[in-house]
A and B are shown apart, each in its own frame.
Chain A
Amino acid sequence: MSSSPLLSVRDLRVDFAAHGGRVQAVRGVSLDVHRGQTLAIVGESGCGKSVTVQSLMGLIPTPPGRIHGGSATLMGHDLLASKMIDGQDIRGRLVSMIFQDPMSSLNPTMNIGDQIAETLQVHKGLSHADAFRRAIELLDMSKIPEAGRRAKQYPFEFSGGMLQRAMIAMSIACEPAILIADEPTTALDVTIQAQILDLLKELQAETGMAIVLITHDLGVVARMADRVLVMYAGEIVEQGSVDDIFYRSAHPYTLGLRRAMPSNDPQMSQSLLAIEGSPPDLFDPPKGCGYHPRCEHAMQACLESPPAYGLDPGHSSRCWLHHEQTSQRPDALYFQSSQGADHDPLG
């Protein structure tokens, strides 16, 4: 990647106060988002993917939440430092967000048009009438039929899919550089899911915005993403291009995810395989690699945190199996042919 990233996050750490201790939700996440790119963050529920983006948006309630390490820079703004002061200029204007459940994510006592218009009034200083007119255009862009009439309706008069379109219209109102979509299709019917994803792609092509897509659905990843981060237990275990992740999985967890997903890939076994065990309680995370209690290839070394091994440009995996001295080389995993040829940009 030649251009400098829009968003650059380094070693982000977030935890939450809980009954008798702290839950370490995010444990040192680093990521870059580039212009026009779609970055997918994949993982099981509770792996910290939502917390990562929500802490960047300043949506983590503090307390009990706490960002206790790392940095995040968005187009020259320090996101973590200026959360309260500049946050309003950044949120909704430079970076906007859509959520999992469109039904509850809109104010039930305000009509849709007003909810879109208020963003424009705040960020662009438009009058209410102008903002409302623009809101109707945005609804139209988001493929909502009869946008003029629908703008005056309330959320309970919309279906889930229509509401998610309205949410998208709202989020692109100020032409943000980055749109964060936190499981945007999880609550929707499968047919609607595809329409929403297509809409996102189309709007991305029109506006050139970057999308950060949070999902646990590899199907959605395959359809949308340019780059993929795989998260487990609050850490990024593997990252790479969408092809790297799907055809050259280098982390046992990524492989586990793929095996759990229906596929017509002849290389994969015919029956779906569940990953044994359950995700760790981040109240007391396992020592070393978070995945080792469930990993079939676990070694004594896995009680120490593995470094990120760069495999190909932009493709890295945090797993001791990639250490040059390791003799275990499971066939299903991808290994770099020549050691140390590349470096991992995120170290």
Chain B
Amino acid sequence: MTPPPALDPALLTPLQREAQEPAMTRPSLSYWADAWRQLRANRQAMASLMLILMLVVFSTLGPVIWNVDPSSQDLDQVGIAPGADRSVTLWQPYRPWSGPSDSLQYSADTLHQLTLATSANTQAVRLAWVQQQDASAYRVYRNLYPVSEVGSLGLPLATLKTDSFEDRLDLSPTRYYYSIVGLNSEGQEVGTPSTIAVEVRRVITVENARARGLLGQDEAAEIGDRINLALHPLGTDYLGRDMLARLMHGGRVSLFIGLFAPLGFMLLGIVYGSVAGFIGGNVDQLLMRFADFVVALPFLLFMILLKVLFGIGPGESGIWPMLLAMVILLWPAPARLVRGQILQLREQGYVDASRLLGTPTAYLIGRHMLPNTLGVILVTLTFQVPGAIFTEAFLSFIGMGVAPPTPSWGAMCNEGIKSMLTRPHEILFPALLISATVLAFNLLGDGLRDALDARMRGSDSA
């Protein structure tokens, strides 16, 4: 063995200690401060929290800024997509039409027998055609899509004997395909149909434009001038109602139910569960058995009953019965949870210790029991919000939720699904908002759970 190295004698003098013990390297934090630190470090959860705040602002302050009545119909713009052209041409008032004037000339060699008599606009589309020898009558069709060889001609508008037709049926500013077919004396279609494409222009009378505030009362206006219709940033629904306003007002319903229903049944459940857990014994057994029964009760039936009990008729909103039904039927789950927690806490050493020191029950509950269940309750509450929003949407979807015309996101989805193929924006926006809200609450709940879970908290210092 090599002899031990010689040491500088100075090193063998007693150690000069620093004034104090070396402090613990990591600062200790209180439970909630630490939970908040962890939550803040969770980017997903913080983004979700921001999103939730934005949604709340959207539906509370939104209607103040975007002050549009969610139930007023803009019949000039029904079911338009966001960003659609909203220009409109000023036009003279409608005058009846009795067919093309004689001065109109048809060239005999026109490929299309069917002709547009005047310019086509949303007041009317006027069609004229050359009489056929073998036809005793004609049928006029209108289609939104090009008429193919095999495809149908579209909506039959009229069967008539004249050689002209005026279409005033629910015209939109778009391209229509009109066809006529001759009919023989038995009413059967004969010969090949003749089809033209017609571009329909949106028009409005000066009087109407003034009435709707699109033109100032004193503003000069000429026929043929182009002005803009009311703005609908997210388009309109199938009744011409502003989507943005409906989404804002609908958010009030959805978020109100989503936040307050869980708050209500959680509170009831906390009281019920802590009473059961605290008293224990037979009372506890009895209370919990009752909770088991309530869980088994069918939810829909009680929704209907409360709707009838509250006398909710058409035009009245069903928010309160829905809220009440959820509170009445959904409290057992949090009650079980809280009872379990209380039973567990009662066995904890520090509770026993505190009890032995003569702590009053109220203090015991307030100081030891509640703070230690609060985390679990908070996390559960966060996770109940998506459930409540889904329930509202589901009930509105099957027509058992808020009554029209009150908008809610679920009800809007229900209306939008019918015209999904032609106007996807009507279901897309409410569906996106529901999903975003639920997603935000789920992610926030995840973050809260991670931040509050004591076992998780210990794990990074193992």
- Chain A residues close to B by CB (< 8 Å): 16, 18-19, 23, 64, 277, 281, 283-284, 286, 292-293, 297-304, 307, 309-310, 320, 323-328, 340, 343
Q: In the complex, what residue of chain B is closest to A294 when comparing beta carbons?
A: B21
Which residues of A are found within 8 Å of B95, using beta-carbon distances? none
Cβ of A277 and Cβ of B13 under 8 Å apart? no
Stretch at the interface among B22-30, B274-282, B305-313, B405-413: B22-30
CA distance A293 to B13 in the complex (A): 15
How many B residues touch A, CB cutoff 8 Å? 22
List 20 additional contacts besides A292-B15, A323-B12, A325-B6; criterion CB under 8 Å.
A16-B462, A18-B460, A18-B461, A18-B462, A23-B461, A64-B462, A277-B21, A283-B26, A283-B461, A284-B25, A299-B13, A299-B15, A300-B11, A303-B15, A320-B7, A323-B4, A324-B4, A325-B9, A340-B1, A340-B4
Given contacts A277-B21, A281-B25, A320-B12, contact A309 B1 (CB under 8 A): no
Contact of A301 among B11, B24, B26, B461 (CB under 8 A): B11
Cβ of A323 and Cβ of B462 under 8 Å apart? no
Given contacts A18-B462, A300-B16, A323-B12, contact A293 B22 (CB under 8 A): yes
Closest Cβ of chain A to B25, distance in Å, is 5
Cβ of B460 and Cβ of A326 under 8 Å apart? no
Given contacts A298-B15, A301-B11, contact A19 B460 (CB under 8 A): yes
Main SS of the interface on chain A? loop
Cβ of B4 and Cβ of A300 under 8 Å apart? no
Contact of B1 among A16, A298, A303, A343 (CB under 8 A): A343
Q: In the complex, what residue of chain B is closest to A297 when comparing beta carbons?
A: B14
CA distance A286 to B26 in the complex (A): 15
A-B contact count (CB 8 A): 65
Closest Cβ of chain A to B462, distance in Å, is 7
Cβ of A19 and Cβ of B7 under 8 Å apart? no
Q: In the complex, what residue of chain B is closest to A341 when comparing beta carbons?
A: B1
Which residues of A are found within 8 Å of B13, using beta-carbon distances? 299-300
Which residues of A are found within 8 Å of B7, using beta-carbon distances? 301, 320, 323, 325
Which residues of A are found within 8 Å of B16, using beta-carbon distances? 300
Closest Cβ of chain A to B5, distance in Å, is 8
Which residues of B are found within 8 Å of A323, using beta-carbon distances? 4, 7, 12
In the A-B complex, list the 9 residue pairs whose CB atoms are closest, starting with the nearest.
Answer: A301-B11, A298-B15, A343-B1, A19-B460, A300-B11, A284-B25, A281-B25, A325-B7, A299-B12
Contact of B10 with A by CB under 8 A: yes
Closest Cβ of chain A to B17, distance in Å, is 8
Closest Cβ of chain A to B453, distance in Å, is 15
19 A-B contacts, Cβ less than 8 Å apart? A16-B462, A19-B26, A19-B460, A281-B25, A283-B25, A300-B12, A300-B13, A300-B14, A301-B7, A302-B15, A304-B11, A307-B4, A320-B7, A323-B4, A323-B7, A325-B6, A325-B7, A340-B4, A343-B1
